[in-house]
Each structure stands twice: as structure tokens, then as C-alpha cells.
């Protein structure tokens, strides 16, 4: 998709999209309304167009229209509009247009720059579907996307992030027979080569040498070989701080011996969304040539049932020497992250973020609308939350009181991989991860809710790329 800037005026295009707000037309919509003889204002007065968030209205083949198809998309109340809403509404407009191939689409939304950047990411993702293996696609990416409302630099930055989001979505939407740990690692190698990133890939032998006993235990039930990917973007001096990004990459999660029900297993190709999010962000960070240092670590396994599956009651030794009693083999993501986090700490990360589709408990707490944040450093977590807000993504902090850590103390090992019963499951999982970050400021992002959607009318379904824009914004802030 080619993305280019426009600044009003006459533009030949197949589709023109304008923004409307609850009870009002923006400047571009008013100009179009005059050209159409007051049609938009009449529709607004009669409430045929209400301007509610994500509402899409099509005007086909109007004789005075500047394009064969005109689309009005609602952004709700102007004063209440935030980045997440701008992104969602623009995506809804793209989804309404994309069922047919479009050579050229122009957006004139009249949003202030930060909202316009979020909307551009939504427009780029809304026309890219999850039907990667259908002969007849339901959605078709636009050949050319013309955007009004951003300067050239801001447009380039937002479009690069949009490409990173779509990379993450494509990886998450691929089935497990297409993306396994080795294949994911090869994709990462290609992204690194294209973007000038340093790339290191650990195979089983290296993982054994590195004493990654926690990650390797999860991989034992699968015929697919585990991998650990380390990427480095050295955009600043070697002695400058390193931002560490760590991703959970379980390319399929059967639950292991603690087998999931069939319905819960259907979408478990998405359990590598944390690693895919990190890779999408690293592609964008390298393309933007941000003058900062970023270290990425992705732990990649498949959690299956096999002759050598790890068992309930097993005691594992993680890379940092902690011993772990296994009481549920479906609490595997934290075992993978344990060793990956330790690698990031050893490699010099001065601040850490990890992302994982870690717990159903976080979905119970926050639904699909927000990711959960848990931290050992309130100031660092505040930066992560601010970066998410700027990027049009929703994240909400959960408490990390010391009492929660008592739930993961084991009688036979240092810690156990689940808490006491079903309560506070997202937090006890984070408390487990905290055992592997030493004193490095760290924030855990549980993206189990927003990373993969099903049955959401007017929204992107399948992989969403949640978290990519936030990570890029964190890297940009690291420059300061």
C-alpha cells in the first residue's frame, strides 16, 4: 500500500472518506456538503447520519460528488474523542470500503495530528483481513491511500507503524502449521536483514547450553523445535541505555497435559501474539531509524502433548537458577518468559517491557477492550501507560501488592507456576515473572484480551496488532 499526503484541493480518487462528528460536520465535510447541495447537512439534521463513533454512511454516484463513492464516518463527540476511538472509526471506514479492490482512497477527517496519526493506522489495518488462505478475499488492501491532516514526517512515521501492526496481525493470523517456532525465527531473521537489525537465534543445543530449563520444558511435548530470537537496534551509543522488549511466542498452545477444551483451543494460534508484537515493533523502530538502543527477546515454543511432555509435579530449574514446581502445564507462557526475561536482563536491558497473551483472568478483569499492566516500578509503568494513550491503545494497571507474591511460594521449590486457586490469576502470573527481572524497572503487559478478536461487528477480527504502536512510542520517548 502506498501512503501519500494530500492538502485539500482536487484529487482524483475512487473513494473519498470524510469525518463527521455528533451533531456537526468537520471543515472537509462542510466543503463537500456545499459541493453536494447540502446533502450531508440534511442527512445530519434528519439523523440519517448521527456521527456516532464508527458509523459509516455511503453516498453512491452522486452527480456532484468528487469521487464515485463518498463515505462519511462518525467520530462521536469531538470533545471526547481519543486515539483509540479515532483508530477504530477509521478502521471501520476502511472495512466498509475494502470488500472490493480499490486503486485509490482518500481520507479527509479533520482531526488534530495525534488523532490523525492513530486514525491512519486504523485505516491501514482496516482494509487488511485475516482471510490469508481464502481464494476469494473478503477485504482488499488499497493500492494507494491519500491522507490529509499530517505533515510528511508524521505521515511517514504513522504509516511505518501501520505496516508494523499489519506484520504482527499477519503473523498472528497464520495457522500453527504455517508459523511454528523455527518458521517464526526465520521471519525474524528476514526482518532483521531488511532493517539492519542485529539478529541472534538460539536453537535447542544453544538453549541447553544456556540452561533455559524453563522454556525447554514447555517444548518437550512437541515435535517442533524451540527457538529464542534476540534482535538489537543499536541506534545510539553503546553505553546509552537499552530498552528491553520481551515477547511470549507459543505458536500453538494445546495446554499440554492440562489439556484445554476444544473450543478454547481453536484460536490458540494467537498465543504467540506477544512475540509477534515485539517483531512488528522492531520492524517499525528500525525503519524509522530511531536514535535509541532497543533489545528484543522472543521465546518460541509449541505446547503440545507427547511422549516426553512435562508433567504436573515436575520441578524445573530456570536460567537464573530459580526452581519452579509445575502445577498446571497450561500456565506455560510464564515459563517461556522466565528464561527470555533473564536473557534480556543479562544482555543489559536497563528497562523492560514484556508482552504476552498470558491469562484468561486478565480478559475476565478487563475484557477485550484493554490490556493489563503490572509492574515493579510505578514511574516506568506510568511511562508505558502514557505511551499507550498517545498511541491510541488502551492499557490499565492492576495492583502488585506483596501479598499476591505469597500465592506462588512452593513447598517443594522456590516458586510454583500458578497461584492459590482462581483468584487474581493475572496478578499472580505477573508476580511469577517478577522473579526473573532482578531490580530492573519492568512492566508486564497482558494482551490476552485485545490481541485477538472474534465476532466484533465493524472491528478488526483475528489478530489486531495491539501493543505495536505503544512499543514504538516507548522507543521514541527513549530518545529524550
pLDDT reported for residue 323:
98
- Tens digit of each residue's pLDDT (9 = 90 or more) over 86-122: 999 999 999 999 999 999 999 999 999 999 999 999 9
Single out the residue in 150, 183, 201 at which a domain terminates: 150
Closest by alpha carbon to 409, among 323, 473, 329, 349? 323
Single out the residue in 150, 179, 213 at which a domain terminates: 150
Choice among 20-29, 396-405, 431-440 with the minimum mean pLDDT: 20-29
d(CA 143, CA 107): 14
- Answer whether residue 10 is part of any domain: yes
Do residue 96 and residue 199 come from a single domain? Answer: no
- Answer whether residue 410 is part of any domain: yes
- Answer whether residue 405 is part of any domain: yes
Q: What average pLDDT does range 428-455 have in this prediction? A: 97
- Answer whether residue 156 is part of any domain: no
Query: Quick one: angle between helices 425-434 and 333-346, nearest 10?
Result: 30
pLDDT reported for residue 6:
82
Do residue 58 and residue 193 come from a single domain? Answer: no
Instruction: Judge whether residue 470 has pLDDT over 60.
Output: yes
Residue 173 burial (10 A CB sphere; 0-12, 13-18, 19+): buried
CATH code of the domain covering residue 178: 3.40.630.10
DSSP for 360-420 reads: HHHHHHHTTS-EEEEES-HHHHHHHHHHHHHTT--EEE----HHHHHTTB-SSSSEESS-S
Do residue 325 and residue 194 come from a single domain? Answer: yes
- Tens digit of each residue's pLDDT (9 = 90 or more) over 30-84: 999 999 999 999 999 999 999 999 999 999 878 888 999 999 999 999 999 999 9
- Tens digit of each residue's pLDDT (9 = 90 or more) over 192-205: 999 999 999 999 99
| Contact yes or no for 469/106 (Cβ under 8 A) | no
Single out the residue in 123, 150, 177 at which a domain terminates: 150
Do residue 135 and residue 189 come from a single domain? Answer: no
Do residue 199 and residue 287 come from a single domain? Answer: yes
Do residue 237 and residue 125 come from a single domain? Answer: no
pLDDT reported for residue 62:
82
CATH code of the domain covering residue 8: 3.40.220.10
| Contact yes or no for 235/295 (Cβ under 8 A) | no
CB within 8 A of 269, min separation 6: which ones? 172, 173, 174, 175, 176, 179, 251, 252
d(CA 84, CA 126): 14
Do residue 232 and residue 84 come from a single domain? Answer: no
Record the pTM: 0.97
- Write the DSSP symbol of residue 161: H
Do residue 142 and residue 189 come from a single domain? Answer: no
d(CA 57, CA 10): 22
Instruction: Judge whether residue 416 has pLDDT over 70.
Output: yes
Do residue 116 and residue 180 come from a single domain? Answer: no
- The percentage of residues in the chain with a pLDDT greater than 70, rounded to a whole number, is 99
pLDDT reported for residue 87:
96
Residues written for the chain = 480
- Answer whether residue 463 is part of any domain: yes
Instruction: Judge whether residue 10 has pLDDT over 70.
Output: no
Q: What average pLDDT does range 229-233 have in this prediction? A: 98
Closest by alpha carbon to 368, among 288, 455, 307, 253? 455
pLDDT reported for residue 72:
96
pLDDT reported for residue 348:
97
d(CA 38, CA 173): 43
- Answer whether residue 161 is part of any domain: no
- Answer whether residue 159 is part of any domain: no
- Tens digit of each residue's pLDDT (9 = 90 or more) over 356-380: 999 999 999 999 999 999 999 999 9
- The percentage of residues in the chain with a pLDDT greater than 90, rounded to a whole number, is 94
Which are the catalytic amino acids? 260, 334
Do residue 204 and residue 129 come from a single domain? Answer: no
- Answer whether residue 155 is part of any domain: no
Determine the structural domain holding residue 334 and report its residue range. Answer: 166-478
Q: What average pLDDT does range 137-149 have in this prediction? A: 95
Do residue 130 and residue 177 come from a single domain? Answer: no
Work out how many domains the chain is built from and give that number: 2
Do residue 9 and residue 93 come from a single domain? Answer: yes
- Write the DSSP symbol of residue 47: T
Element (H, E) at 19: strand 15-21
- Tens digit of each residue's pLDDT (9 = 90 or more) over 317-347: 999 999 999 999 999 999 999 999 999 999 9
pLDDT reported for residue 9:
60
| Contact yes or no for 330/359 (Cβ under 8 A) | no
Amino acid at each position: 500500500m502506498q501512503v501519500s499526503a494530500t492538502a485539500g484541493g482536487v484529487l482524483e480518487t475512487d473513494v473519498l472518506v470524510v469525518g463527521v462528528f455528533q451533531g456537526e460536520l468537520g471543515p472537509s465535510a462542510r466543503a463537500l456538503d456545499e459541493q453536494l447541495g447540502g446533502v450531508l447537512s440534511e442527512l445530519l439534521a434528519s439523523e440519517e447520519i448521527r456521527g456516532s463513533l464508527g458509523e459509516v454512511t455511503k453516498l453512491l454516484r452522486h452527480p456532484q460528488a468528487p469521487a464515485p463513492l463518498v463515505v462519511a464516518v462518525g467520530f462521536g463527540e469531538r470533545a471526547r474523542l481519543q486515539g483509540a476511538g479515532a483508530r477504530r472509526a477509521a478502521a471501520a471506514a476502511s472495512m466498509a470500503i475494502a470488500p472490493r479492490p480499490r486503486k485509490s482512497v482518500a481520507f479527509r477527517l479533520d482531526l488534530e495530528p495525534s488523532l490523525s496519526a492513530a486514525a491512519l493506522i486504523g485505516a491501514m489495518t482496516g482494509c487488511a483481513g485475516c482471510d490469508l488462505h481464502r481464494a476469494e478475499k473478503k477485504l482488499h488492501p488499497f493500492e494507494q491511500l491519500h491522507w490529509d491532516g499530517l505533515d510528511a514526517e508524521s505521515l511517514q512515521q504513522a504509516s511505518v507503524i501501520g505496516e508494523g501492526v499489519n506484520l504482527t496481525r499477519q503473523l498472528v493470523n497464520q495457522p500453527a502449521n504455517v508459523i511454528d517456532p523455527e518458521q517464526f525465527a526465520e521471519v525474524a531473521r528476514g526482518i532483521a536483514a531488511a532493517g539492519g537489525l542485529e539478529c541472534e537465534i538460539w536453537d535447542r543445543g544453544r538453549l541447553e547450553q544456556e540452561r533455559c530449563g524453563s522454556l525447554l520444558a514447555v517444548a518437550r511435548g512437541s515435535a517442533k523445535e524451540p527457538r529464542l530470537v534476540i534482535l538489537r537496534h543499536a541506534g545510539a551509543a553503546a553505553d546509552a541505555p537499552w530498552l528491553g522488549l520481551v515477547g511470549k511466542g507459543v505458536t500453538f498452545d494445546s495446554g499440554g497435559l492440562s489439556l484445554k477444551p476444544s473450543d478454547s483451543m481453536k484460536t490458540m494460534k494467537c498465543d504467540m501474539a506477544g512475540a509477534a508484537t515485539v517483531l512488528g515493533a522492531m520492524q517499525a523502530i528500525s525503519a524509522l531509524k530511531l536514535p535509541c538502543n532497543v533489545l528484543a527477546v522472543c521465546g518460541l515454543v509449541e505446547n503440545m502433548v507427547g511422549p516426553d511432555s512435562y508433567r504436573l509435579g515436575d520441578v524445573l530449574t530456570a536460567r537464573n537458577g530459580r526452581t519452579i514446581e509445575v502445577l498446571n502445564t497450561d500456565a506455560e507462557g510464564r515459563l517461556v518468559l522466565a528464561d527470555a526475561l533473564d536473557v534480556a536482563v543479562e544482555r543489559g536491558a536497563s528497562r523492560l517491557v514484556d508482552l504476552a497473551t498470558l491469562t484468561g483472568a486478565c480478559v475476565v478483569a478487563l475484557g477485550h477492550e484493554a490490556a493489563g499492566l503490572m509492574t515493579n516500578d510505578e514511574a516506568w509503568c506510568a511511562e508505558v501507560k502514557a505511551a499507550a494513550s498517545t498511541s491510541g491503545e488502551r492499557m490499565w494497571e492492576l495492583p502488585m501488592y506483596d501479598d499476591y507474591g505469597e500465592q506462588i511460594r512452593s513447598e517443594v521449590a522456590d516458586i510454583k507456576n500458578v497461584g492459590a486457586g482462581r483468584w487474581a490469576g493475572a496478578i499472580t502470573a505477573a508476580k511469577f515473572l517478577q522473579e526473573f527481572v532482578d531490580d530492573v524497572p519492568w512492566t508486564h503487559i497482558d494482551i490476552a484480551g485485545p490481541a485477538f478478536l472474534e465476532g466484533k461487528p465493524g472491528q478488526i477480527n483475528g489478530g489486531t496488532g495491539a501493543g505495536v504502536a505503544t512499543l514504538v512510542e516507548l522507543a521514541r520517548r527513549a530518545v529524550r
